[in-house]
């Protein structure tokens, strides 16, 4: 039996705002050493776990998330965003406990009748959790309480504006293996136009890929052995250069267009900005030296190991043997900003061309050999995505066009060759179909019996052409003589819906009523005028209502799967609890249309 880490109590539920307020208590301590795990501040996957375990048996969230999914840390981290929109910590108490509180705190606490002993002394925090759909909290009520073993799992937490602009860390579009055997990758670099990616190994030489299709453009090895380092493209040319680690005046250059080794002017520095206006040297002495410019960070005894310019050349992001990333002004060497990373040190970094997002790789702890990739939004320094690869991240580069991030990975398996993971920029904007809110069955809310409703319609017999013509003609006279413009109230009578019209009535004809009736599959009803008609519990598969006028009609509890409603006038129409799955509403007028509880699965135009 697992020991609870936290206790959870529901303080309030606001379904209109899609919010639930929770109080989380720490209920597991190591009192002898005054140790405990404080509640996570805002980790979405932690709160997803709380919602799932409380609604596993009687809530929609339990229907769409399988046990093996929620228990998979990486799955929960990647998919929490489909359920959690935001988490705000509104209060934190007793963190840390006072000396007096420690005298009373025990190691374990268990929920009894919705409470925990010594609640007023326990470490605790209050949170407001906003979900993406109110159904994910419909099973909760104020006063609900339970113990939990869920823990922080570092979920991706992008806001809507981040989604198109950050890399998909878990789903590489391509994995390249440039060299066979147990070969580490020394360096990689995009050409200035982003059309080529060069990869270097000091034994097996140089490989250049076409980024359009990742076909191999060049594979070449210099005649003499070289301890290769400092891969750099020549400014304005399709010539890639690298230097000998032992003798940096010894440069090798390969012309991608001619497919030959060439002589080229020595590329100065270890990195340069896009126009070559700024060049920087680092990794030899402490700090950063801007060639023909200032030095930076040279008083901090910091050895820089990674650097990246923004495309406008206004900022250089650098990191090295520390947990911090520094943002430098290349013109002055001034430190413009800094980012405190959560790892012990930052190994590699890349920055989006516009400088809006920073990617770093760092160990998750001093005991972890594998590195975690983290994506930060630079305006507020928030981590919006993170993922641990099965290997050591030895290089990161964001393409000049901003469309992809490449990750150099070594040590994924014993003796395996180094790999390059090409990560597309942009996360999916919509959840997978199996993680979408299930259609809400609201019939029980009204005391309705869906089976009885369907049975009544099927037993009524199909509407004939002559019958329909008579109904439509009479309804037309009713409308023409002043009928319509009123409202409907749907009552429940004997578990069936009964629509009551309140409003002006015509002096001629009769208001159309097709309650609990059915049409044959595919019936052609194009252009039909049944505005303000009673179509409650109507049944018909793939009926054609293109261009029909159904303004202010009541069509509640109907089953119209695959209905063709393109161009129809549906202003003010009530489709509550109707089945419109697979319907086509392209170009339909929908102002004021009521779709409460409507099944719109795979519907078009809405």
pLDDT class of 364 with cuts at 50, 70, 90: low
Q: What is the pTM of this model?
A: 0.72
Given a contact cutoff of 8 angstroms between Cβ atoms, the answer to whether 173 and 424 are in contact is yes
**How large is the C-alpha radius of gyration of the chain?**
33
pLDDT of 446 reads: 61
What's the total number of domains in the chain?
Answer: 2
Res. 414 pLDDT band, cuts 50 70 90: low
User: Is 51 a residue whose pLDDT tops 50?
Assistant: yes
Q: What pLDDT does 460 receive?
A: 83
For the residues 75-98, what does the mean pLDDT come to?
A: 97
Q: How many CA atoms lie within 13 A of 299 on its CB side?
A: 4
pLDDT confidence of residue 273: 95
Show which of 148, 174, 191 is a domain's final residue: 148
Of all residues in the chain, what percent carry a pLDDT higher than 90? 67
- Report the mean per-residue pLDDT for the chain: 90
Tens of pLDDT, residue by residue over 309-324, are 999 999 999 998 888 9
Question: Of 356, 397, 398, nearest to 378 (Cα)?
Answer: 356
Residue 446 placed within a domain: yes
Residue 412 forms part of a structural domain: no
In this structure, are residues 374 and 397 in contact, taking their beta carbons and an 8 Å threshold? no
367: confidence class by pLDDT, cuts 50, 70, 90: very low
Task: Give residue for tokens 């005046």.
Answer: 249
Mean per-residue pLDDT for 325-349? Answer: 88
Structural domain ending residue among the three candidates 113, 148, 183? 148
pLDDT at 382: 93
Region of 137 on the Ramachandran plot (φ > 0 left; ψ -120 to 50 alpha; else beta): alpha
Residue 119 has pLDDT above 80, yes or no: yes
Q: Looking at the chain, how many residues does it have?
A: 606
- Of 106, 121, 148, the last residue of a domain is 148
* Tens-digit pLDDT profile for residues 243-260: 877 777 888 999 999 999
Please determine, for residue 441, whether its predicted confidence score (pLDDT) is greater than 60.
no
Contact status, residue 33 vs residue 81, Cβ threshold 8 Å = no
Number of other residues whose CB lies within 10 A of the CB of residue 381? 13
User: 386 and 404 in contact (C-beta within 8 Å)?
Assistant: no
Collapsing DSSP to helix, strand or coil, 286 comes out as coil
CATH number for the domain harbouring residue 549: 2.160.20.80
The pLDDT value given to residue 392 = 84
Structural domain that includes position 68: 6-148
In contact, 330 and 309? CB cutoff 8 Å: yes
Strands (E), 120-246: 124-131, 145-148, 174-176, 187-190, 196-201, 205-210, 216-220, 228-233, 239-244
CA dihedral sign, ordered 467, 468, 469, 474:
positive
Q: In this structure, is residue 600 part of a structural domain? A: yes
- Residue 495 in contact with residue 447, Cβ under 8 Å? yes
pLDDT at 423 over 50: yes
Q: 54-68 pLDDT, tens per residue?
A: 999 878 999 999 999
Which contiguous run of DSSP H or E holds residue 63? helix 60-64
What's phi and psi for 26, nearest 5 deg? -80, 125
Mean pLDDT, rounded, for 162-171? 96
The reply to whether 219 falls in a domain is: no
């Amino acid at each position: 039996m697992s020991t609870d880490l936290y206790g959870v109590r529901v303080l309030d539920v606001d379904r209109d705002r899609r919010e639930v307020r929770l109080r989380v208590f720490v209920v597991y301590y190591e009192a002898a050493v005054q140790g405990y795990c404080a509640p996570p501040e805002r980790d979405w996957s932690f709160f997803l776990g709380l919602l799932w375990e409380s609604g596993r048996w009687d809530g929609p969230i339990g229907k769409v998330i399988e046990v093996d999914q929620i228990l998979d840390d990486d799955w929960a981290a990647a998919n929490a965003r489909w359920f959690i929109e935001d988490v705000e910590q509104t209060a934190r108490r007793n963190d840390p406990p006072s000396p007096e509180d420690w005298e009373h705190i025990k190691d374990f606490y268990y929920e009894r009748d919705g409470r925990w002993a010594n609640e007023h002394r326990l470490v605790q925090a209050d949170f407001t959790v906003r979900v993406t759909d109110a159904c994910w909290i419909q099973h909760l009520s104020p006063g609900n309480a339970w113990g939990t073993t869920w823990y922080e799992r570092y979920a991706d937490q992008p806001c809507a504006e981040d989604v198109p602009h950050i890399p998909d860390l878990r789903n590489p579009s391509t994995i390249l293996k440039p060299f066979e055997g147990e070969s580490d990758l020394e360096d990689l670099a995009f050409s200035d136009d982003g059309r080529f990616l060069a990869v270097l190994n000091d034994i097996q030489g140089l490989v250049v890929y076409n980024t359009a299709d990742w076909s191999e453009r060049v594979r070449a090895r210099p005649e003499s052995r070289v301890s290769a380092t400092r891969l750099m493209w020549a400014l304005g040319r399709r010539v890639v250069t690298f230097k000998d680690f032992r003798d940096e005046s010894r440069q090798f250059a390969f012309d991608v267009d001619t497919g030959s080794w060439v002589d080229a002017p020595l590329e100065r520095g270890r990195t340069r900005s896009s126009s070559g206006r700024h060049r920087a040297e680092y990794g030899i002495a402490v700090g950063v030296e801007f060639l023909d410019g200032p030095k930076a960070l040279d008083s901090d005894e910091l050895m820089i190991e990674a650097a990246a310019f923004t495309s406008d050349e206004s900022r250089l992001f650098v990191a090295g043997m520390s947990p911090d990333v520094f943002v430098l002004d290349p013109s002055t060497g001034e430190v413009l900003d800094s980012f405190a990373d959560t790892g012990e040190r930052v190994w590699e970094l890349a920055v989006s061309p516009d400088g809006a997002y920073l990617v770093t790789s760092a160990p998750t702890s001093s005991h972890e050999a594998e590195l975690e990739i983290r994506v930060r939004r630079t305006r507020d320094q928030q981590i919006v995505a993170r993922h641990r690869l099965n290997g050591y991240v030895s290089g990161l580069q964001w393409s000049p066009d901003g469309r992809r991030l490449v990750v150099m990975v070594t040590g994924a398996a014993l003796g395996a060759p180094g790999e390059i993971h090409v990560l597309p920029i942009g996360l999916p904007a919509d959840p997978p179909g199996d993680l979408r809110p299930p259609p809400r069955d609201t019939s029980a809310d009204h005391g309705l019996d869906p089976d009885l409703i369907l049975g009544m319609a099927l037993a009524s017999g199909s509407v004939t052409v002559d019958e329909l013509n008579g109904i439509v003609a009479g309804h037309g006279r009713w409308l023409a003589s002043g009928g319509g413009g009123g409202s409907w109230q749907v009552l429940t009578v004997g578990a069936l819906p009964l629509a009551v019209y309140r409003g002006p009535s015509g002096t001629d004809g009769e208001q159309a009523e097709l309650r609990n009736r059915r049409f044959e599959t595919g019936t052609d009803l194009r252009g039909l005028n049944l505005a303000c008609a009673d179509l409650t519990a109507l049944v018909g598969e793939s009926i054609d209502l293109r261009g029909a006028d159904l303004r202010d009609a009541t069509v509640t509890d109907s089953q119209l799967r695959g209905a063709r409603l393109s161009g129809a006038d549906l202003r003010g129409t009530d489709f509550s609890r109707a089945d419109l799955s697979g319907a086509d509403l392209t170009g339909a007028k929908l102002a004021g249309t009521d779709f409460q509880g409507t099944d719109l699965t795979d519907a078009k135009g809405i």
